């Protein structure tokens, strides 16, 4: 028979372990990003696909970083969010030819989740792909544009530019404030039409 004085300690320990396990499940990486080219070859498209339906479905923050060849002098124009008011994503950061990867430029687009109704516009559903952002290059289509990978040499905390590149998304239904629900990049590469 257990001593009644030890029961509260045992219960609090079990509760703490359960909460820690539950928290790790709540901070799941579930959202995949894909970069493709529009059918007419004029615009780049950012698609996102979750592996779980969030509940509650409240988007807070997001970032997607693309990598472009430095010699292309890529200039993002016509940046349009396909959900809500069309202005939920904007070009927030640019680093040209960082020393970690001097053959590429990096452009980060940020999601303004708490602006207007953007926090609830996406209506995420498990395995349902959504087009969330389109943009063009001022000089036309350029090959070798991609979403920055986790293993990219510039994707480090202490990089030469002192910036925060990479991919991130936070939805309260997939975690807590400050959690990064970005999982990975998916999809095939593409080529501009000649």
136 belongs to a structural domain: yes
Mean pLDDT, all residues of the chain: 87
- Look at residue 82 and tell me if it is in a domain: yes
Domain that holds residue 113: 28-185
Residue 110 domain-assigned (yes or no): yes
Q: pLDDT tens digits, residue range 74-89? A: 999 999 998 877 788 9
Q: Looking at the domain assignment, is residue 21 inside a domain?
A: no
Query: With contact defined as beta carbons under 8 Å apart, do 174 and 54 qualify?
Result: yes
Q: Output the tens digit of pLDDT for each of the chain's 194 residues.
A: 555 555 444 344 433 433 433 444 456 899 999 999 999 999 999 999 999 999 999 999 999 999 999 999 999 999 999 887 778 899 999 999 999 999 999 999 999 877 767 788 889 999 999 999 999 999 999 999 999 999 999 999 999 999 999 999 999 999 999 999 999 999 988 899 86
* CATH classification of the domain holding 65: 2.60.40
Number of domains into which the chain is organized: 1
Is the distance from CB of 51 to CB of 158 less than 8 angstroms? no
**In terms of Cα–Cα distance, which of 164, 120, 163, 139 is closest to 78?**
139
Helix (H) or strand (E) holding 70, with range, is none
Dihedral of CA 165/169/174/177: which sign?
A: positive
Strands 31-37 and 182-185: parallel
Residue 19: predicted pLDDT = 40
φ/ψ of residue 85, rounded to 5: -85, 5
Q: Look at residue 136 and give its three-state secondary structure.
A: strand
Whether residue 17 lies inside any domain: the answer is no
Token pair for 91: 């070009």
Cβ(101)–Cβ(69) below 8 Å: no
What's the alpha-carbon Rg for the chain, to the nearest Å? 20
115 in any annotated domain: yes
Q: How far apart are CA 189 and CA 145, in angstroms?
A: 9
């Amino acid at each position: 028979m257990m001593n009644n004085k030890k029961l509260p300690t045992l219960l609090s320990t079990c509760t703490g372990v359960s909460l820690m396990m539950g928290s790790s499940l709540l901070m799941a990486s579930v959202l995949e990003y894909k970069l493709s080219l529009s059918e007419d070859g004029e615009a780049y498209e950012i698609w996102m696909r979750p592996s779980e339906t969030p509940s509650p479905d409240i988007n807070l923050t997001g970032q997607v970083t693309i990598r472009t060849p430095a010699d292309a002098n890529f200039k993002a124009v016509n940046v349009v969010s396909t959900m809500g008011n069309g202005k939920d994503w904007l070009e927030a950061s640019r680093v040209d030819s960082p020393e970690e990867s001097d053959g590429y430029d990096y452009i980060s687009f940020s999601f303004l989740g708490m602006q207007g109704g953007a926090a609830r516009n996406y209506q995420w559903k498990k395995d349902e792909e959504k087009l969330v952002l389109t943009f063009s290059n001022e000089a036309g289509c350029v090959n070798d544009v991609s979403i920055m990978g986790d293993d990219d040499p510039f994707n480090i905390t202490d990089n030469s530019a002192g910036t925060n590149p990479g991919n991130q998304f936070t939805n309260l239904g997939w975690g807590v404030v400050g959690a990064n629900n970005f999982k990975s990049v998916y999809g095939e590469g593409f080529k501009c039409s000649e």
